[in-house]
């Protein structure tokens, strides 16, 4: 009777382990799908960075073109019949203002280069973190499966040992 109950309990335990491994398998499959999805997100984010970079490039080109046009306009406004009418002070003021404007343009380009580069690095680092976490999940799953297999072997071994002991123990009794 005890053996029947023991076998029944063991059967339930083994079945439960089987069910759990099914859940684990589905979980890992879901994680894998999420990682693949994150790769798509990473690709989209990089494309967005490309688009933003293009827009920022257009902004800086427009800014540079405007400064060029403003220079031409200033020269036209200060020239009459091919002769420059501006005073040295006016020319100096214009050069100072123009240099400041170009400096501002340079700063804007530099800030953008840093920003877009940081964004791309952030996306790459996020992908790397996801890959590192997923690698850990895979390792954990492998370790769990290995322990489950070892426990399964142990259960079978114990069943064998119990049947051998069942023969020996009565002989040892007085």
Partner 1 sequence: MAEDRNIFDLGPAAGPIDSTAFQAAKEAWYTDRNRINEEVLPKIDRAIAEVESWSNVVNNLVALIGTLVPLVQTLATRADTTKATLTEAKNTCEALNVLKNLLQR
Where on the chain is the footprint of partner 1 (CB under 8 A)? 56, 59, 63, 66-67, 70, 73-74, 90, 93-94, 97-98, 100-101, 104-105, 107-108, 110-112, 114-115, 118-119, 122, 125-126, 129, 132-133, 136, 139-140, 143-144, 146-147, 149-151, 153-154, 157-158, 160-161, 164-165, 167-168, 171-172
In 3D space, the residue among 166, 156, 136 whose CA is nearest the CA of residue 13 turns out to be: 156
Closest separation between CB of residue 107 and partner 1, Å? 6
Hey, what are 139's tokens?
A: 């390792």
75 phi-psi bin (left φ>0, alpha ψ -120 to 50, beta other): alpha
**With respect to partner 1, which residue has the nearer C-beta, 11 or 157?**
157
**With respect to partner 1, which residue has the nearer C-beta, 16 or 132?**
132
Residue 32 CA to residue 36 CA, distance in Å, equals 6
Hey, what are 34's tokens?
A: 């999420």
CB 21 within 8 A of CB 162: no
Closest separation between CB of residue 44 and partner 1, Å? 17
Closest separation between CB of residue 102 and partner 1, Å? 8
Rg of the chain over Cα atoms, rounded to whole angstroms, equals: 38
């Amino acid at each position: 009777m005890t053996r029947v109950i023991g076998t029944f309990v063991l059967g339930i335990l083994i079945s439960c382990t089987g069910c759990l491994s099914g859940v684990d398998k589905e979980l890992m499959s879901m994680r894998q799908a999420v990682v693949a999805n994150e790769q798509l997100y990473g690709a989209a984010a990089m494309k967005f960075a490309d688009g933003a970079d293009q827009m920022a490039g257009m902004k800086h080109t427009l800014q540079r073109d405007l400064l060029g046009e403003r220079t031409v306009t200033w020269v036209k406004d200060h020239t009459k019949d091919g002769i420059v009418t501006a005073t040295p002070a006016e020319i100096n003021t214009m050069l100072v203002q123009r240099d400041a404007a170009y400096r501002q343009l340079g700063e804007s380009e530099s800030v953008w280069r840093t920003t877009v580069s940081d964004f791309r690095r952030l996306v790459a680092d996020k992908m790397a973190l996801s890959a590192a976490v997923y690698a850990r999940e895979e390792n954990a799953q492998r370790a769990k499966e290995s322990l489950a297999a070892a426990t399964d072997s142990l259960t079978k071994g114990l069943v064998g040992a119990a049947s051998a002991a069942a023969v020996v123990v009565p002989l040892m009794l007085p």
